[in-house]
Structure 1
Amino acid sequence: MATSQPNASLSRRAGRATARTWNWLGRQDRKFNVWLTKHGAPRGLAWTWRLGCALVLVITLFYAAVLAACVILVMLVGCFVAANASELLKEEDDPPQWRQGLLGFGLYDKHGIRIDPYDPNEID
């Protein structure tokens, strides 16, 4: 007994929907050309109008594809920069040290300046 899958996959349904839409657009295009010629437009004008609309559609789709590719490229570059940001944030200087300095024991940088909160007028 052979089993069959009753439901088509999502990709197959999407392909069929795309094909139905494409065929519908083709029928509408042919109907519009017939309508133009019935209302007195020359066949050459109807053909030129059809070609112009198809060209605008192709250019729009190409523009959308290029825009999507640019967005993906910017995201990839951003991910690459974020992944390698640890090298950019490394400190090459000596880290601050706890030591006895001019203002007493505290956190001093490499130039001898105390960087922790310190109030010289505070009485312990």
Structure 2
Amino acid sequence: MGLFKALGGGFQSINSIVEGARKKRDAKKFIAEATARQRNWEQIDLVNNAAMINVSGEANRRALENINLSAAQGLDLAADAGVRGIGMISKIQQNVNVELSKKFIKISTKKINLRKKNWNNQI
């Protein structure tokens, strides 16, 4: 019995060694897979970061374009408003001139009428 027990213990030892080697091999495989996954994720992160930087750069470039476009549109509107303002000023000036002309004509006719009266009174 002792012999069989010893043989059984030996086989058990061999099985333990094989099992240990299998576990060690599996552990190495798992470590390799985990490392590969980590590298993949790092590469994905790098790609994502690069993409985000590109998007950010594109957004900054577009923002500058939009600012320039807005500034140009603002200048256009200001110029348009300026032209309209000048047009309105000239229209107001024309109206003032017309009113002044009317008043001047009224004053002139009053002066003429007064002169006529004075002339008639002198005669």
- TM-score category, normalised to shorter length: 0.3 to 0.5
More strand by share: 1
More helix by share: 2
Between 1 and 2, higher relative CO (CA 8 Å, sep ≥ 6) is seen in: 1
TM-score, L = length of structure 2: 0.42
TM-score, L = length of structure 1: 0.42
